[in-house]
Amino acid sequence: MQKKTIQNMKYELVEILDTKQENMQRQFDLELARVKSKYEDAIVKVDEASQSLQELFKEKVRNIKEKSALFFAKVEMKLKETNDEVLQVSTIFRQWQETLQGPTKKYES
């Protein structure tokens, strides 16, 4: 009889351990599922933020290109205006020089 009781206790102990293991496995699976869900949510948020940053970067680069192009166009126009003014002053100076030297000395210098 004592053997049966010990045998029954062994089976009960094994059953208790199996139940405990199943409960622990269920808890582990639930926790793992929760962590996976959070990880996937985080990846989605990072992808969205990355996409947003890429769009923002492209917009900033486009604005910089536009401003640079406008700046260099203005610089080029200003250089052309300055060049035209220098040519006008040069022409006026040559004409003034010719009036001082006279027509015979025009080609000597």
> How far from 33 is each of 28, 36, 88, CA to CA, in Å?
8, 5, 82
Task: For residue 42, tell me if it sits in a domain.
Answer: yes
Indicate the number of domains in the chain. Answer: 1
Q: Are 106 and 98 in contact (CB under 8 A)?
A: yes
Check residue 80 and give its pLDDT. 96
Tens-digit pLDDT profile for residues 48-105: 999 999 999 999 999 999 999 999 999 999 999 999 999 999 999 998 888 887 665 5
Residue with tokens 């080029």: 76
Check residue 78 and give its pLDDT. 97
Task: For residue 109, tell me if it sits in a domain.
Answer: no
Name the more confident of 9 and 72: 72
pTM: 0.52
Task: For residue 32, tell me if it sits in a domain.
Answer: yes
In this model, does residue 109 exceed pLDDT 60?
Answer: no
Task: For residue 82, tell me if it sits in a domain.
Answer: yes
Angle at 94 between CA 88 and CA 99, to 5 degrees: 130
Write out the residue range of the structural domain in which residue 57 sits. Answer: 2-102
